[in-house]
Amino acid sequence: MGFLDNSGDIILDAVLTDTGRMRLAQGDGSFKIVKFALGDDEIDYTLYDKTNANGSAYYDLNILQSPVLEAFTNNAASMKSKLLSIRNEELLYLPVIELNNIISPTVDSSDSALKALTDIPNGGYIITADYTTSLTTGWTVDSPLTNGNNVNGIIRGNQPFGDDTTPIVFDQGLDTDDLTASRMAAGDVLMETQYLIEVDSRLLNIATPQGENTLARPAYIDDDNVAGYYFTLNRYPGYFAPPNGNMDVRPFSVGPQDVESPAAQARTVIGNGATTGVFGTRFGFHLRSTRELASSTTQLGIKLSKEALLLKS
């Protein structure tokens, strides 16, 4: 990766991704560019200076002369924040997607089962990888996962025990206290009905959030072993909460607390969880360790106790 000098003429530097080059190499005449994306990850918009004494032509000069990243082919690392166009010029709020740590609590290192450990991060999930670490009766007194104790943030990643774990859930909507609690109408352009999940295919699989946790089939696996899964509301309703889908997770619910103050009983992270926020879709899934990960004896990550290795590779 490098930077291009943008202090003079505008430079257009474009390359095909690894996947694009692979399809071009097929040489059967079928390769055609039908989509492209633009991003501005490297631009610092705080450089805009409307107090510049030289006049308005100089307000954005530092931005326009910022060095830009040289194009590179690794699609897993390029353009984390893609630009989009919205026709509604009066739009005041943009939707967000946030992890719902109320329905599926994340790791809390102050938990009585984890407080003795100093290397446990807050705010994420720990995934048990094999049969032994996913079997609760295999957890010992030396393990932070005590027998029969479901610790927040622990996902039993081995397939036979997947249905015992709460799915990972995301809420989408307008996360603001300026709007009274409500739901987006069907067909609202701000409602997210398509999700893309990318995971390392050597470590993890995506599975349905309920029932027997059937493994989903990735749409692609690229040359970096990154598997991409596409989920759309119409085709995969089991990954979406009602009323949009049929996932067995409590849906958004907006009802009148009293005549003057409608309230949301949704256990949501959108708005204040009670009287504010506009709710779009609730999306969830399970994570499963791969067969290769479950059978490997090479450690990847941290060993949490003398006897319990929670994430192996």
SS (H, E, C) the chain: CCEECCCCCCCCCCCCCHHHHHHHCCCCCCCCCCCCCCECCCCCHHHCCCCCCCCHHHCCHHHHCCCEECCCCCCCCCCCCECCCCCCCCCCCCCEEEECCCCCCCCCCCCCCCCCCCCCCCCCCEEECCHHHHCHHHCCCCCCCCCCCCCCCEEECCHHHHHHCCCEEEEEEECCCCCECEECCCCCCCCCCEEEEEEECCCEEEECCCCCCCECCCCEECCCCEEEEEEECCCCHHHECCCCCCCCCCCCCEEECCCCCEEECCCCCCCCCCCECEEEEEEEEEEEECHHHHHCCCECCCCCCCCCCCCEC
Question: Does position 139 have pLDDT exceeding 70, yes or no?
Answer: no
**Between residues 308 and 21, which one has the greater pLDDT?**
21
pLDDT band at 307, cuts 50/70/90? very low
Say whether pLDDT at 118 is over 90: no
Residue 147 has pLDDT above 70, yes or no: no
The amino acid sitting at 123 is G
Q: Which residue has the higher pLDDT, 312 or 238?
A: 238
- pLDDT for 282 equals 94
Query: Mean pLDDT lowest for which of 83-87, 140-144, 182-186, 209-213?
Result: 140-144
Whole-prediction pTM value?
0.75
- CA dist 98 and 285 (Å) reads 14
Query: Would you say residue 131 has pLDDT above 50?
Result: yes
- How much is the pLDDT for 144? 52
pLDDT attached to residue 248: 79
**What is the rounded average pLDDT for all residues in the chain?**
78
pLDDT at 54: 92
Query: Which pLDDT value is given to residue 293?
Result: 86
Confidence of residue 301 (pLDDT cuts 50, 70, 90): low
Using 50, 70 and 90 to split pLDDT, how confident is the model at 304?
very low
Kindly tell me if the per-residue pLDDT of 312 is higher than 50: no
pLDDT at 50 > cutoff 70: yes
Contacts of 220 (CB under 8 A, 6+ apart): 19, 227, 228
Asked whether residue 279 carries a pLDDT value surpassing 90, the answer given is yes
Q: Which two tokens stand for residue 1?
A: 């990766």
Nearest partner of 115 among 136, 138, 144, judged by Cα = 144
> What does the pLDDT average to over 25-37?
82
Averaged over 275-279, what is the pLDDT?
91
Statement: residue 45 has pLDDT above 80: yes
pLDDT for 285 beyond 90: yes
Q: Is the pLDDT of residue 175 over 90?
A: yes
